[in-house]
């Protein structure tokens, strides 16, 4: 295990850009700073180099837009190994986009709030970290305010995403239902991802047409959230995304209480929380499936599929004890057979399940990390430990891959996507703590 920890640190240090102070998720495949990756990466750094953890977060926040929005990719550097790059995204079409950085005009699951709390809990020098948090926490609060003001047209406490890349679960079979409602042109573009990774493990070209088309719609309206809410064919209330926001709200409340003198912010956060958790349970829980699902806000219906996102609300203390018990039964029955590692990213019993393809079935370490912590929150320690042991075993056996096959029958080359993947390294350090 010591050796594994050393390897993990080596990966993070190698992927860290000393000059600009951020970490690439993976060489070649993802050569810039990604929003939620950088949050998980900061948790890893906090275990042995708190200065790098702080720099990582500062680098991300340095690209925050003037309206509070935090983008999904920050193009701190140039690279021709990734498509679509800054010239495609053209974030500066938005009048309040970052003036100092080129970014995308979409976001990713809002992890920063709970990441600040995690790193505070991890480091030894609490005073130093609390000072850092004091300097940055209002930016995260401002980001949440942006979500509730601009991404919640019904003012119901649940925010929408307008692109699958905002979900983090980029090509989940969940989105197939939405692609069926769209008919984009065949765009001309040159994929770069498939020069680094076997195309069988990545989205198809046709899927990229949908992805690019959604960005074209947003660009045509200068990334205006109100226009996007009115026009985007992809408009989803995602249980993973909203659970991250709720977990981050909870962490901000705890941190502001520690900092003191923040009554107004605390009461605003508490009001958001109450509304969000109530509505989350009313709107996103699916009795028949025994877990949370996505809600298609454009077509006003639940998207009835289970995925690893269905269990993320455990991490954020959203389900009642009764629902949590049902969810654990669902998890064990559908995802947790003897022949499987936990936890596949999509329902293994579905005909849309693909054990090798990006978010259509493989196991991801960040979702496992949330699941492990979530199950522990509710006292399901046996199954929590199984998720943890499975995560460590997969990395030990196959290396620090981006994603893994859930089938125990596949015993060779069962790590997929990018290798030396930063968040797999970072979260392994946290699981081994
Ligand atoms: C991808 O797969 O390239 C997405 O940008 C990840 O966010």
Q: Which of 118, 209, 347, 402 is catalytic?
A: 402
By C-alpha distance, which of 24, 354, 77, 71 is closest to 207? 354
Looking at residue 2, its pLDDT comes to 79
Looking at residue 286, its pLDDT comes to 98
**Is the Cβ–Cβ distance between 22 and 33 less than 8 Å?**
yes
Distance 82 CA to ligand 1 centre (A): 9
* CA atoms of 112 and 61, how far apart (whole Å): 10
Distance 165 CA to ligand 1 centre (A): 6
C-alpha angle 390-292-356 in degrees, rounded to nearest 5: 45
Looking at residue 221, its pLDDT comes to 98
Q: Which atom of ligand 1 is nearest to the CA of 168?
A: 7
Distance 159 CA to ligand 1 centre (A): 21
pLDDT, tens digit, 9 for 90 and up, residues 12-44: 999 999 999 999 999 999 999 999 999 999 999
Out of 165, 171, 199, mutate this one to test ligand 1's pocket (max ligand atoms within 8 Å of CB): namely: 165
Q: Which atom of ligand 1 is nearest to the CA of 165?
A: 7
**Is the Cβ–Cβ distance between 140 and 276 less than 8 Å?**
no
Distance 73 CA to ligand 1 centre (A): 9
Q: What is the model's pTM?
A: 0.98
Q: Determine which residue's CA is closest to atom 4 belonging to ligand 1.
A: 165
One pLDDT digit (tens) per residue for the chain, 433 residues: 779 999 999 999 999 999 999 999 999 999 999 999 999 999 999 999 999 999 999 999 999 999 999 999 999 999 999 999 999 999 999 999 999 999 999 999 999 999 999 999 999 999 999 999 999 999 999 999 999 999 999 999 999 999 999 999 999 999 999 999 999 999 999 999 999 999 999 999 999 999 999 999 999 999 999 999 999 999 999 999 999 999 999 999 999 999 999 999 999 999 999 999 999 999 999 999 999 999 999 999 999 999 999 999 999 999 999 999 999 999 999 999 999 999 999 999 999 999 999 999 999 999 999 999 999 999 999 999 999 999 999 999 999 999 999 999 999 999 999 999 999 999 999 999 9
Q: Which atom of ligand 1 is nearest to the CA of 108?
A: 7
Q: Which of 170, 177, 254, 325 is catalytic?
A: 170
Q: According to the CATH classification, is domain 2-431 in 1.50.10.10?
A: yes
SS3 content of the chain, % helix, strand, coil (to 5): 55, 10, 40
* CA atoms of 231 and 386, how far apart (whole Å): 44
Q: Determine which residue's CA is closest to atom 7 belonging to ligand 1.
A: 165
**Is the Cβ–Cβ distance between 394 and 410 less than 8 Å?**
no
Q: Determine which residue's CA is closest to atom 2 belonging to ligand 1.
A: 170
Distance 327 CA to ligand 1 centre (A): 29
* CA atoms of 250 and 69, how far apart (whole Å): 19
250 classed as catalytic? no
Q: Is 165 in the pocket of ligand 1 (CB under 6 A)?
A: yes
Q: Are strands 291-292 and 285-286 parallel, antiparallel or unpaired?
A: antiparallel
Rg (CA), the chain: 20
Looking at residue 157, its pLDDT comes to 98
Q: Where in 244-402 does DSSP place strands (E)?
A: 285-286, 291-292, 294-296, 301-303
CB contact set of 199 (below 8 Å; sequence gap of 6+): none
Q: Tell me the ipTM for this assembly.
A: 0.92
170 classed as catalytic? yes
Output phi, psi for 270, to 5 deg. Answer: -65, -40
């Amino acid at each position: 295990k010591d050796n594994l920890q050393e390897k993990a640190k080596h990966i993070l240090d190698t992927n860290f850009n000393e000059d600009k102070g951020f970490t690439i998720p993976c060489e070649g495949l993802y050569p810039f700073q990604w929003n939620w990756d950088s949050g998980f990466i900061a948790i890893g750094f906090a275990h042995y180099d708190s200065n790098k953890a702080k720099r990582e977060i500062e680098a991300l926040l340095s690209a925050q837009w003037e309206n509070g929005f935090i983008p999904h990719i920050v193009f701190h550097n140039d690279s021709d190994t990734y498509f679509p790059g800054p010239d495609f995204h053209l974030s500066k079409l938005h009048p309040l986009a970052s003036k100092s950085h080129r970014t995308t005009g979409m976001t990713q699951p809002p992890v920063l709030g709970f990441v600040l709390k995690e790193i505070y809990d991890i480091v030894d020098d609490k005073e130093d970290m609390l000072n850092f948090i004091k300097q940055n926490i209002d930016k995260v609060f401002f980001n949440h305010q942006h979500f509730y003001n601009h991404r919640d047209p019904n003012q119901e406490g649940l925010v929408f995403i307008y692109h699958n890349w905002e979900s983090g679960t980029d090509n989940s079979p969940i989105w197939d239902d939405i692609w069926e409602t769209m008919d984009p042109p065949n765009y001309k573009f040159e994929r770069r991802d498939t020069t680094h990774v076997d195309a069988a493990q990545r989205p198809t070209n046709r899927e990229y047409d949908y992805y690019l088309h959604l960005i074209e719609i947003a660009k045509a309206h200068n990334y205006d959230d109100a226009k996007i809410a009115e026009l985007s064919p992809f408009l989803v209330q995602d249980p993973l995304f909203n659970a991250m926001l709720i977990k981050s709200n909870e962490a901000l409340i705890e941190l502001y209480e520690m900092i003191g003198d923040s009554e107004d912010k605390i009461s605003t956060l508490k009001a958001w929380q109450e509304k969000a958790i109530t509505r989350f349970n009313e709107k996103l829980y699916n009795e028949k499936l025994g877990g949370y699902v996505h809600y298609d806000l454009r077509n006003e219906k639940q998207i009835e599929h289970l995925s690893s996102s269905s269990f993320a609300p455990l991490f954020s203390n959203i389900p009642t004890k009764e629902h949590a018990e049902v969810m654990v039964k669902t998890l064990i029955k559908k995802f947790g057979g003897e022949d499987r590692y936990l936890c596949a990213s999509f329902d293994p019993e579905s005909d849309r399940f693909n054990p090798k393809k990006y978010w259509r079935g493989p196991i991801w370490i960040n979702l496992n990390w949330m699941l492990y912590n979530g199950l522990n929150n509710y006292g399901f320690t046996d199954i929590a430990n199984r998720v943890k042991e499975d995560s460590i075993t997969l990395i030990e056996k196959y290396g620090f891959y981006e994603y893994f096959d859930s089938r125990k029958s596949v015993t060779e080359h069962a790590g997929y996507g990018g290798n030396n993947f930063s968040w797999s390294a970072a979260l392994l350090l946290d699981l081994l703590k």
